[in-house]
């Protein structure tokens, strides 16, 4: 379990990446926190997923509840419309919105089979395209494998074989031509590669932001896997992000979820 007693890897990645989503830096040398730093839709929906799992709630109802409370956080157009529909239906999306919210499932589930099933459930209420479901499953599976002591090589092998993602590229190869991309298939693999090249939590997030594109989401995903793998996030990042997220969400959802499901199986 993290020393800080809260699972914040995905949220911290989102917060750090938020400044650079539309102002890409293409470098690992940047300020982690600026005056423009905030938590985006990635954090909101990650916390919503925690609430679903913690309190056995309905995904659709909970996503809508959080999305309406925390409005104007950078939701995609189709998903924002979905948030306010009286009878919301999935709209065949392959967007990475399904992937960015899936990391809590990797902590919650006790087997890889359960991870795959729960991630599908979490995605398909809105993102029911096969790539949208696959993206959610890949992120949740990577978190599960990381927290249960698998090596980077084992994580890479599982993700490659199961989801047919190309993880043999390097960030140096990806970075020069990488553009803003919201699809799971063109952002989830890149986020996983950033984790694979990292040496600790902070470097994973810096590498994720450095490729450009949808920086908050890529850093959210990479940060989630890195926290599960390395075991904690730096204290200064934890403290700053905790303040940005605020005590209500920390006390009401994040800490209770972390206490119940955040015990590592490493060792």
Sequence ranges of the binding site for Mg(2+)? 40-42, 214, 216-217
CA distance 88 to 158: 33
Element (H, E) at 59: helix 59-69
CA distance 101 to 82: 16
| DSSP assignments along 233-266, one per residue | --HHHHHHHHHHH-HHHIIIIIHHHHHHH-----
User: Binding site: what residues are annotated?
Assistant: 40-42, 214, 216-217
Sign of CA dihedral 214, 130, 124, 108: negative
User: Smallest Cα–Cα separation from 146: which of 228, 262, 265, 224?
Assistant: 228
| DSSP assignments along 143-195, one per residue | HHHHHTT--HHHHHHHHHHHH-----S-HHHHGGG-----BGGGTHHHHHHHH
- Is 33 strand, coil or helix? coil
Q: Which two tokens stand for residue 84?
A: 């306010």
What angle separates helix 215-230 from helix 9-18, to the nearest 10 degrees?
A: 150
């Amino acid at each position: 379990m993290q020393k800080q007693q809260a699972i914040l890897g995905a949220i911290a990645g989102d917060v750090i990446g938020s400044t650079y989503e539309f102002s890409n830096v293409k470098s690992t040398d940047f300020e982690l926190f600026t005056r423009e730093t905030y938590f985006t839709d990635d954090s909101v929906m990650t916390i919503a997923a925690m609430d679903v799992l913690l309190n056995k709630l309905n995904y659709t109802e909970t996503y809508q509840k959080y999305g309406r409370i925390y409005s104007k956080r950078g939701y995609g157009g189709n998903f924002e419309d979905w948030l306010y529909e009286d009878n919301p239906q999935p709209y065949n999306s392959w967007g990475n919105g399904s992937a960015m919210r899936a990391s809590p499932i990797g902590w919650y589930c006790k087997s890889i089979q359960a991870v795959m099933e729960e991630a599908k459930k979490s995605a398909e209420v809105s993102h029911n395209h096969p790539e949208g479901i696959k993206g959610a499953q890949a992120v949740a599976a990577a978190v599960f494998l990381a927290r249960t002591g698998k090596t980077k090589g084992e994580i890479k092998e599982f993700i490659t074989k199961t989801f047919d993602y190309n993880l043999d590229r390097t960030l140096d190869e990806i970075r020069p031509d990488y553009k803003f991309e919201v699809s799971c298939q063109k952002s989830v693999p890149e986020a996983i590669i950033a984790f694979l090249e990292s040496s600790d939590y902070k470097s994973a997030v810096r590498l994720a932001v450095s490729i450009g594109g949808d920086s908050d989401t890529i850093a959210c995903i990479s940060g989630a896997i890195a926290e599960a793998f390395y075991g904690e996030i730096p204290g200064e990042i934890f403290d700053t992000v905790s303040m940005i997220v605020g005590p209500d969400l920390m006390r009401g959802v994040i800490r209770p979820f972390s206490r119940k499901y955040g015990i590592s199986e490493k060792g």
